[in-house]
Structure 1
Amino acid sequence: MTIALRHARVRYGPLEALHGVTLVAPGPGLTVLLGRNGSGRTTALRALAGAVALSGGTVVWDGTDVTRLPAYERARRGLCLVPERRAVFGSLTVRENLELAAADLAPALDAYPSLEPLLPRRAGTLSGGEQRMLALSRVLLARARVVLVDEPAQGMSPAVAARTYTLLSGLDACVVLAEQRLPPGLRARAVRTTYVHELRRGAVVFSGEAAELTHETAAARTTSGPRTENRPNPSG
């Protein structure tokens, strides 16, 4: 399972947020879209999900062009987007939020035991970190084929954040994260390779393995134009 952008362009009114971006996220495995605020990483994530329309280029999922497929159809086919904000139904209880994904809540509560005493509470009253745990536990219950998450560990303690990245990296899915910086522990994983696409001002300036990021990014930042590598292959 693979999802990719090919020469993708996105406009917000007169401003172009993505300038012909090509990137691929192979699965099962973890891909990180890296960049500062305004780099285009969140827009790229939303473009993969169908939450924003492309003004040019394509979205390809397992070799099929899904550019014109609306977001709800992508969701029906197994794509799950967890946005940075409003990722839970605030007026529903924690239990009701989880039951929208599955009847058996055990996998979610095993992943985040601290949610169990919160089951009767309304999701909108939870802290930011608790809401992230709830949103991500719904992903675990849904068994999605493609998981797109914008800043998954926002508001979490370091220990819970580390557990979150372990859970995400172990999913049998194509997992794409949008992050401002590479999370600790993802640079060199023994079981699966973590891929990184770094974006700056709506363009990809680095594509490769997380373990190479330090050296390759330094080289890219000393050049005048974007630098990309030939792996992984977007046509894959």
Structure 2
Amino acid sequence: MTLSLRHARVRYGPLEALHGVTLAAPGRGLTVLLGRNGSGRTTVLRALAGTAPLSGGAVVWDGADVTRMPAFERARRGLCLVPERRAVFGSLTVRENLDLAAPAHEPALAAYPQLEPLLPRRAGTLSGGEQRMLALSRALLAPARVVLVDEPAQGMSPAVAARTYELLGSLDVCVVVAEQRLPPALRGRPASVYELRRGTVVFAGEAAEWRRREGLG
């Protein structure tokens, strides 16, 4: 089963951000949306999550048209969106942020041991990379069927970024991430890639195929 956009159009006032985008993310596995700022990759995530309504086309999840399903209902059915900004509750402690996802924190702290000494601190005082770890930990704790993440490794060291993609790649669910460039951590890992430019898909294929196309081996 898949989560897909079919000829999707999204408008922000007079400007159209997506121009008939069609793509599909498998029910299990990693899909990467590539593109520079303004390419439409973040809008694709928001369209899939229901936070950016379509002006045309459809969102289809497990064979059912969910275009008119509100974002909170998609979340209730197992869709988890981790946005690039405001992904944690800054006025709450790290522990309280994790409590909102699940009462048991062990899987999150096993994924990111760096968070354990930060449990009593308010999330708003953390560095950008620490906040990303916390946001992703909450997603890992949630009983999700679909995980959508905008720039998951932003602000992280290369080692933590590699660990993050290892975690995302190990999830037995549909995972869609948006990145400006194909992460080095994905070298040798199976992943579907869609490259967007100015609201349209200019490449669709496997990560290895995209690397060959770009002359990256």
Structures share a fold, TM > 0.5? yes
Q: What secondary structure is seen at the aligned counterpart in 1 of 2:185?
A: coil
| AA aligned opposite 2:199 | G
CA distance in 1, matches of 2:160, 2:187: 18
Instruction: Confirm or deny that 1:26 pairs with 2:26.
Output: yes
* Equivalent-residue separation in structure 2 for 1:53 and 1:92 (angstroms): 30
> Structure 1 stretches (4+) deviating beyond 3 angstroms?
215-218
* Maintained 8 Å contact 2:8/2:58: yes
- Structure 1 residue 2 displacement after superposition: 1.4
Q: Distance in 1 between matches of 2:63 and 2:17?
A: 25
After TM superposition, give the deviation of residue 126 of structure 1 in Å.
0.4
Equivalent-residue separation in structure 2 for 1:186 and 1:107 (angstroms): 23
Larger mean CA deviation between 69-78 and 207-216 belongs to 207-216
Query: Do structure 1's residue 183 and structure 2's residue 208 form an aligned pair?
Result: no
> What SS does structure 2 have at the residue aligned with 1:136?
helix
TM score, norm. by length of structure 2: 0.97
- What's the offset of the Cα at 1:23? 0.3
Given the superposition, is the C-alpha separation of residues 25 and 54 from structure 1 closer, same or farther in structure 2, using an over 3 Å criterion? same
Once the two structures are superposed, residues 13-36 of structure 1 have per-residue CA deviations (whole angstroms, 9 ceiling, x without a partner) of 110000000000002100000000
Q: Secondary structure at the match of 1:185?
A: helix
1:2 aligns to 2:7 (yes or no): no
* Overall identity of the aligned pairs, in %: 81
The equivalent residue for 2:80 is 80
- Determine whether 1:120 maps to 2:120: yes
Match of 2:168 in 1: 168
Shift of 1:72: 0.4
The two structures have a TM-score, normalised by structure 1, of: 0.89
| Equivalences, count | 215
Runs of at least 5 residues in structure 2 that lack an aligned partner in the other structure: none
Matched with 1:226 is none
Q: Does 2:51 correspond to 1:55?
A: no
Contact 1:188 1:194 in 2 (8 A): no
SS of residue paired to 2:81: strand
**Amino acid paired to 1:170:** S
1:42 aligns to what?
Answer: 42
Contact 1:187 1:194 in 2 (8 A): no
For 1:136 and 1:210, how far apart are their aligned partners in 2? Answer: 23
Q: Output the aligned Cα RMSD.
A: 1.0
